Amino acid sequence: MRLNPLRAIPVLERDDGEVFFDSPMICEYIDSLNDKPRLYPASGEARWQALRWHALGQGMMEATVARFVELRKPARSRMRRTPPKHEARIAAALAFAAERVPASGFISGNTIGIADITLAAALGYIDLRYAHDWRGRHPRLAQWLVPISARPSFIEPSRRSHNKGRYKKGRYKWQEARFKELQHAPSSIAGQARAPRFFLVSCNFSLYLNL
């Protein structure tokens, strides 16, 4: 955190010593280093749609962690209206996503993009910290998630952390998946022992890596 004046993670430190912070910025910077099909469209309506999905997924996770943090407080210290407020935010976001995801395939185009990765990460984190039957209410969204979560980039972190317990699995599975899709670049991330590859710190988990 010493590299970020905002005292938050993640922080990306480049080989030249420059540092970047803020989840969306780091994701897009890493994507710009990849010569394979881009996760972020370069311009036009497709780009705005991708950024909106990224904002939606990140907002879902922020609401989930805010609810989780409030419920961890002693009962006498909790704000009674706070958990229901965040649950309503999550419910509205799930409904928004369910109306717009395709019945199968990727959200935009023929390859996985930041929209798919961020939404899948959000749904995985909801399952971890706010487990409820959103699949029963939104079967189309649940169906869309199945092939995404079956990708090697999502399965491998889960398998590797299988013996570390539910806490470790939830903490690393989804964040590693995001960076496996982003591939790796010649930089390092501050916050997890300066990991040389982008597998350990998720751009969308900057608020709750230690929960």
Q: Which domain holds residue 181?
A: 1-36+153-211
Report residue 85's pLDDT band, with 50, 70 and 90 as the boundaries.
Answer: very high
Res 155: pLDDT:
75
* Same domain, residue pair 31 and 55: no
Find the CATH number of the domain harbouring 97: 1.20.1050.10
Res 158: pLDDT:
55
Residue 23 or residue 51, greater confidence: 51
Q: What is the 3-state secondary structure (H, E, C) of the chain?
A: CCCCCCCCCCEEEECCCCEEECHHHHHHHHHHCCCCCCCCCCCHHHHHHHHHHHHHHHHHHHHHHHHHHHHHCCHHHCCCCHHHHHHHHHHHHHHHHHHHCCCCCCCCCCCCCHHHHHHHHHHHHHHHHCCCCHHHHCHHHHHHHHHHHCCHHHHHHHHHCHHHHHHHHHHHHHHHHHHHHHCCCCEEEECCCCECCCCCCCHHHCCCCCC
Per DSSP (E only), the strands in the chain are 11-14, 19-21, 187-190
* Same domain, residue pair 194 and 128: no
* Same domain, residue pair 108 and 141: yes
Report residue 131's pLDDT band, with 50, 70 and 90 as the boundaries.
Answer: very high
- Mean pLDDT to the nearest integer, 28-55: 87
- Mean pLDDT to the nearest integer, 21-29: 85
* Same domain, residue pair 77 and 95: yes
* Same domain, residue pair 101 and 8: no
Domain end point (choices 97, 127, 150): 150
Domain end point (choices 120, 150, 180): 150
Q: How many domains does the chain have?
A: 2
* Same domain, residue pair 69 and 135: yes
Report residue 153's pLDDT band, with 50, 70 and 90 as the boundaries.
Answer: confident
Res 87: pLDDT:
96
Domain end point (choices 135, 150, 165): 150
* Same domain, residue pair 145 and 157: no
Res 107: pLDDT:
93
Residue 59 or residue 25, greater confidence: 59
Res 189: pLDDT:
39
* Same domain, residue pair 70 and 167: no
Report residue 208's pLDDT band, with 50, 70 and 90 as the boundaries.
Answer: very low
* Same domain, residue pair 143 and 161: no
**Is residue 192's pLDDT more than 70?**
no
pTM of the model as a whole: 0.75
* Same domain, residue pair 138 and 190: no
* Same domain, residue pair 100 and 131: yes
